[in-house]
Amino acid sequence: MVRQITTMVKAQRCSWGVGDPLYEQYHDEEWGVPCRNAQALFELLILEGMQAGLSWITVLKKRRHMRRVFLDFDPSRLADLSEAHVVELLQDPGIIRHRGKLEAMRSNANAFSELGTETEAVDFFWRFVDDAPLVNRWKSIKNVPSATDTSKALSSELKRRGFKFVGPTICYAFMQSAGLVNDHVVDCFRHAGCQRSPAVRATVE
């Protein structure tokens, strides 16, 4: 009698996206996927700023609740956030309680609204990569930079427009999460999956 054994091959992921169900879901379904929705881009920019000094898993665990109390990250509504509301939010353990970050979210909502229509806001970010995702071919997560000339340029322009908590490192993390750059390592099953054909431009390792 021949015994048949079925082997399930596990998907190869970037090393940082392994071990926690939240991380794995975020890695598999969101990170590096090109985003062209204005409100979603605003949310990612705010969340990356919220993450400063903390681990990303902390943000992921609090994200659902933050979406609820931060009005679905609607910049037009957050721009009118009152001081009393900020004080109230600082008492909520379900969010990242940091006055500077909350006040930055409010000022960033105003600055984001100044980018123009939703289409104009999306175009603003994507023009930094010539409207096509930058596709890197890293063999190891150790090769992935924390900032690039492009993220420095984006950071500089955002600051000029009144944004806060948008340093080059935060901006690069935003670019990665929003799919402006594909930094999945080449062995990761999402490296190919995130590429948006036909506008793909490879960079050197």
CATH of the domain at 44: 1.10.340.30
Mark residue 35 as left, alpha or beta (left: phi above 0; alpha: psi -120 to 50; beta: remaining). beta
Q: Residue 10's pLDDT is what?
A: 59
- Contacts of 20 by beta carbon, 8 Å cutoff, 6+ apart: 57
Catalytic site residue from 23, 31, 43, 48 = 48
Q: What share of the chain is helix, strand, coil (3-state, %, to 5)?
A: 55, 5, 45
Dihedral sign (CA 111, 101, 134, 155): positive
Q: First-to-last CA distance in the chain? A: 51
Q: Say how far apart CA 42 and CA 119 lie, in whole Å.
A: 13
Within-domain flag for 8: no
Number of domains in the chain: 1
Active-site residue 26, yes or no? Answer: yes
In a domain, 170, yes or no: yes
| Catalytic position from the list 23, 26, 31, 138 | 26
Question: For residue 101, which of 173, 170, 32 has the smallest C-alpha distance?
Answer: 170
164 found inside a domain: yes
- By the 8 A CB rule, do 138 and 185 touch? yes
- Give me the pLDDT at residue 151, please: 98
Length of the chain: 205
| Per-residue pLDDT tens digits for 178-200 | 999 999 999 999 999 887 543 43
Cite the beta strand spans of the chain per DSSP E: 134-135, 181-182, 201-202
Whether 37 maps to a domain, the answer reads yes
92, part of any domain: yes
In a domain, 5, yes or no: no
Intervals of the chain under pLDDT 70:
1-10, 196-205
Q: Is 24 a catalytic residue?
A: no
Rounded Cα distance between 190 and 47, Å, is 22
Record the pTM.
0.89
pLDDT the model gives residue 19:
86
User: Which of the residues 24, 30, 56, 103 is marked catalytic?
Assistant: 56
Q: Does residue 3 fall inside a structural domain? A: no
Determine, yes or no, domain membership for 2.
no
Place of tokens 């700023």: 49
Give pLDDT tens digits for 33-44. Answer: 999 999 999 999
Instruction: For residue 48, indicate whether it is catalytic.
Output: yes
The single-letter DSSP state of residue 37 is -
Q: Which residues form the domain of 32?
A: 15-202
